Structure formats: structure tokens, C-alpha cells
């Protein structure tokens, strides 16, 4: 056996939805951890589940681990699902119970996501994306590029876990007043917890940093938008389905919502992480959101830093090591409550 409790024999792991940046640190760690990784570019679903080899599958946020997919994996001898992300709302935990160990990466870099959220806020506020495109065409007009000072404005932070707290810290540096909502409030200096309705009414900027659950699904809908200030900015670097996209679109077109920065979209599974630049997008809501001048949409990249990718790889490998070492309890196991 290798030093550090590693495995006597190489273990086969099937890795889905592979991109070049995924492989960098996993390839570096594979030999050290005694793992032979079989990479698949395809997303994991009931059809591609037939590709799986070995007892372990590594999956990502837009893979579909519903009951049909899990049944195929189970029949092929897979017993551990290692999510290389913090979210697991795409896993049918009821079906998985008693059949699989579902492991995740609870935190890879809260700073990566929080910094990105602030970057998107600065971009839509000061119209940096539009200014960049103008000057590339030698248009140096400033018309339509007016923003506002962040200092003194009220930011409503929904979800005050590690990412939310990192974002709050950045907002403090800009001199913003901070309101927060969380099911489990914490003692954070200079932060006022309040009910969602009051946060909606007071916030100039709303930033989402909470997980997607049954309770948080469409947290921002027509009713919530109706409570908000005229011209509110909405930032979402968490999960797309926290926002009712149709309601958001209506709010943006009416200018009730001044601008939105979206790194996620509730129907993103079919599109994000892929190149559709030569295709016609048949999702009308997505196409309209992307076309609006007061929307900045990116492709679920808030996590994408070198530090985060390294932490994802090491934590995922540590999770797999616990399983293959035959442990009975796992540091990062997801259980059905």
C-alpha cells in the first residue's frame, strides 16, 4: 500500500462532462491517488451512463443523475457518485439512498465566486462590456454608459454561507449598506438580517448566494419583483432556478429591474459549457435575455480560478480515497434529510 493510506491497486473512475481545464489537476493527482480516470466529454444521463466503468463516477452540475440514470449506473456496478461541485440538486437522492454514496465538494473557493459576483456588478453598473465593444469599433462616445456610485447603496445578500460572507466582505470595502437573509442567520458585523420582503423593498442591488432547494425554487418571481425598488440590480452566481426567468425577463423589459448579471440560467443544462455560436438557439427566453442591453450573461464560470480547480480536484480525490479505503463514514457525504 502507498504512503498516506492510498489504494493497493489502481481504481477505475469514470469522469463525465470533461473540459480541458478539468483535466489539468485531476491528471496531476491521478497517479498519486492510484486512480485510472476514464474521461468522457458527454454529460452524464441515462444514455451515457452505459459508458461507466468501475465503481466510481465523477459528475458535475449539469449532469442529469435522475432515477433512470442512477439505475443504469447501479446495474453497471457503480456505488459512489463523486460530485465535483458543491451543489447536488441534480441528483435523485431518494433513489440514491441505500444504493450509492453521494459525495461532494462543499467549498472550493468562496472568494472565486464572490469576486466574480462583484465583477459582474461593476460591469453592468459601469457598462464595461458595452464600452469595450464600442472602443473596438473606434466609438468613443460616453452616451448611455452612466452608472452610479456603489458607496452608500444598499445591497441585499440572500444566503450568508462562505460565499455570501466573502461577497459581504467585498461590499463592505465599497462602503455599501448590507441587508441579509438566511434561514440560519449568523453574527456578522455591520450586517442587518431582515425578512425577504423587507430586503426586496430596500435593496438597490440583490445578490443570490443560496443553494437551490424546494423552498428556494423561484425565490425571485413576479410577486418578489413587484416588491422591489424601481431599477434594482439582480446578481445570480448561484443556481439558475432561484429566479423565474420569464418573470425576470418581464421585469427587465419594463425596467422595473434596472439590470441583471446572470452566471446561471434555469434551463442552462442544454447550453452552458458548449459552443452554439453557429446554431440557432430555440430557447426564446434565453435568446431574449442575452439580447437585452441591461443583461450580462456568462456561462456558469464564477468558480473558474486555478485555486478553485485545484481544490475541486483534491477534495474529489480525497472523497474517493475515503470510499476506496473502505471507510464507513465520509467527510463530505450528502444524505437525504
Domains in the chain with CATH codes: 11-108+305-334 (3.40.50.720), 110-297 (3.40.50.720)
Mean per-residue pLDDT, 138-146: 97
**Do residues 205 and 235 touch, judged by C-beta distance below 8 A?**
yes
Active site residues: 239, 268, 300
DSSP β-bridge partners for residue 333: 103
pLDDT digits (tens, 9 = 90+) for 155-164: 999 999 999 9
**Ramachandran assignment for 98, one of left (phi > 0), alpha (psi -120 to 50 degrees), beta (any other):** left
pLDDT digits (tens, 9 = 90+) for 85-116: 988 989 999 999 999 999 999 989 999 999 99
pLDDT at 337: 62
Ordered strands of the 191-193 beta sheet: 191-193, 177-181, 154-158, 205-208, 232-236, 257-262, 295-297
pLDDT digits (tens, 9 = 90+) for 16-48: 999 999 999 999 999 999 999 999 999 999 999
pLDDT at 64: 95
**Do residues 248 and 226 touch, judged by C-beta distance below 8 A?**
no
Residue 62 confidence (pLDDT) above 50: yes
pLDDT digits (tens, 9 = 90+) for 237-296: 999 999 999 999 999 999 999 999 999 999 998 899 888 999 999 999 999 999 999 999
Supply the DSSP string of 224-236, one letter for each residue.
HHHHSPTTEEEEE
pLDDT at 4: 43
Of 196, 209, 188, the residue nearest 117 (C-alpha): 209
Supply the DSSP string of 120-182, one letter for each residue.
HHHHHHHTHHHHHHHHHTT----TT------TT-EEEEE--SHHHHHHHHHHHHTT-EEEEE-
Whether this model's pTM surpasses 0.95: no
pLDDT confidence band for 8 (50 / 70 / 90): low
pLDDT confidence band for 2 (50 / 70 / 90): very low
pLDDT at 269: 85
Mean per-residue pLDDT, 190-209: 98
Rounded Cα distance between 72 and 47, Å, is 9
Sign of CA dihedral 192, 193, 198, 204: positive
**Do residues 103 and 82 touch, judged by C-beta distance below 8 A?**
yes
Amino acid at each position: 500500500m502507498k504512503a498516506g493510506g492510498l489504494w493497493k491497486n489502481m481504481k477505475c473512475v469514470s469522469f463525465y462532462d470533461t473540459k480541458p481545464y478539468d483535466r489539468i489537476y485531476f491528471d496531476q493527482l491521478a497517479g498519486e491517488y492510484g486512480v485510472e480516470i476514464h474521461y468522457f466529454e458527454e454529460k452524464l444521463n441515462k444514455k451515457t451512463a452505459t459508458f461507466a466503468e468501475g465503481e466510481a463516477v465523477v459528475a458535475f452540475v449539469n449532469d442529469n443523475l435522475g432515477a433512470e440514470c442512477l439505475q443504469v449506473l447501479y446495474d453497471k456496478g457503480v456505488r459512489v457518485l463523486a460530485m465535483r461541485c458543491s451543489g447536488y440538486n441534480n441528483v435523485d437522492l431518494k433513489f440514491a439512498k441505500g444504493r450509492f454514496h453521494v459525495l461532494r465538494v462543499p467549498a472550493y473557493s468562496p472568494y472565486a465566486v464572490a469576486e466574480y459576483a462583484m465583477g459582474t456588478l461593476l460591469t453592468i453598473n459601469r457598462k464595461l462590456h458595452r464600452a469595450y465593444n464600442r472602443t473596438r469599433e473606434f466609438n468613443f462616445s460616453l452616451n448611455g454608459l452612466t452608472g452610479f456610485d456603489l458607496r452608500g447603496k444598499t445591497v441585499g445578500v440572500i444566503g450568508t454561507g462562505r460565499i455570501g460572507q466573502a461577497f459581504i466582505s467585498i461590499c463592505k470595502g465599497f462602503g455599501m449598506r448590507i441587508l441579509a437573509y438566511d434561514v440560519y442567520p449568523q453574527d456578522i458585523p455591520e450586517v442587518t438580517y431582515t425578512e425577504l420582503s423587507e430586503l426586496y423593498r430596500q435593496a438597490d442591488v440583490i445578490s443570490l448566494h443560496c443553494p437551490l432547494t424546494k423552498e428556494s425554487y423561484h425565490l425571485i418571481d413576479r410577486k418578489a419583483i413587484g416588491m422591489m425598488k424601481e431599477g434594482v440590480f439582480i446578481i445570480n452566481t448561484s443556481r439558475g432556478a432561484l429566479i423565474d426567468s420569464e418573470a425576470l425577463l418581464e421585469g427587465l423589459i419594463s425596467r422595473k429591474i434596472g439590470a441583471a448579471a446572470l452566471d446561471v440560467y434555469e434551463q442552462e443544462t442544454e447550453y452552458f459549457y458548449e459552443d452554439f455560436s453557429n446554431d440557432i438557439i430555440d430557447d426564446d427566453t434565453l435568446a431574449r435575455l442575452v439580447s437585452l442591453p441591461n443583461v450580462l450573461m456568462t456561462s456558469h464560470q464564477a468558480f473558474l480560478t486555478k485555486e478553485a480547480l485545484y481544490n475541486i480536484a483534491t477534495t474529489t480525490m480525497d472523497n474517493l480515497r475515503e470510499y476506496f479505503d473502505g471507510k464507513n463514514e465520509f467527510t463530505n457525504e450528502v444524505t437525504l434529510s
